[in-house]
Amino acid sequence: MEKTNKLPVGYKALWLFFVAAYLVWMVFFLHWNTYPTAETGMHYAWIYPIWIVISACIMLLFPVYMQRILYDAEHKYDRVFALTSLIVGCAFITVYAFLKNPRQYTASMIGLDYPWCFKLWGILSTESIFVNTLYMFRKFGYRNHIGLTAACIGCAALFITINVPSAGEDLILNSLRCMSHWTGALVFAFGAAAPVVLFLIGMARTKEKRFVLLTVFFCAVLVGAFTLLVVIGKDGLIEGVPVWSVYLVLLLVNFTPAFARNTRKENEEKPEAARV
């Protein structure tokens, strides 16, 4: 058994800050009917405090995931948990994307008609990507505090988006609702992608062909999707491609023989990336 280590205090403090800020925002700045109840799912006042407690408790699980997967002794059920999380998360966001025509409706716009599904979409996507990113780091002995911090910030940011419904197709710069929703979504997108990109680049520096090819593929998908969104505009399928590609990368790296750890090579020369 590996020796158990403690999650650094900085990460604990970061998540406690996120949860405290979230509670202050939800309790003192939002109200159960701040936005149209049909768009938030808060049809009754008593639902709102229950949601606050549940969502805050879910946020408190993220440092628990970090402790369990990155710093505790490895357990056989960690792999099962990560794989189950990956499958459930990917399956749900895929089904959710087709609740309405994805060529006409983005995930946020679908959430206007299915607000609780949208909240669950946010929770499952953050949890599944976060857990499997941690598992990927653990599997290859990789550490990157910039990437981990970005992942934490990104996951916390999406809790803003799922509480502030979409304002529609247009980007309204003077609308607090619009800018809050978009900011949370964009910070999550960058936060979720950052640790994966940093990991792939770090492993590609070892000149292992499998990681070089996967890095080129993933970066090409991100650049291509962003370019199409700029040229075409909002499109649910195009917006979903980067998320699905993250799931694909995590599946390949964490659970396929093609990316099994090369322990013999690691013993001969430990990757510089793993020391970051």
Residues 73-84 have pLDDT tens digits of: 988 899 999 999
pLDDT of residue 150: 97
Helix axes 9-24 and 47-66, enclosed angle (nearest 10): 170
Provide CB contacts within 8 A for 44, sequence distance 6+.
32
Span 162-181, average pLDDT: 87
Four-point Cα dihedral 215, 244, 139, 151, nearest 10: 90
pLDDT digits (tens, 9 = 90+) for 13-61: 999 999 999 999 999 999 999 999 999 999 999 999 999 999 999 999 9
Mean per-residue pLDDT over the chain, rounded? 91
Check whether 176 has a pLDDT greater than 50: yes
Nearest to 188 by CA among 235, 137, 217, 151: 151
Contact by Cβ (8 Å): 198, 205 = no
**What's the rounded Cα separation, in Å, for the pair 276 and 101?**
43
pLDDT of residue 133: 98
**Per-residue pLDDT band at 4 (split at 50, 70, 90):** low
Structure tokens at 160: 């803003």
**What's the rounded Cα separation, in Å, for the pair 252 and 258?**
7
Four-point Cα dihedral 40, 184, 100, 84, nearest 10: -100
Span 242-250, average pLDDT: 96
Which of 4-13, 61-70, 229-238, 250-259 shows the lowest mean pLDDT across its residues? 229-238
Span 90-101, average pLDDT: 96
pLDDT of residue 262: 67
**Per-residue pLDDT band at 228 (split at 50, 70, 90):** confident
Structure tokens at 13: 């403090």
**Per-residue pLDDT band at 275 (split at 50, 70, 90):** very low
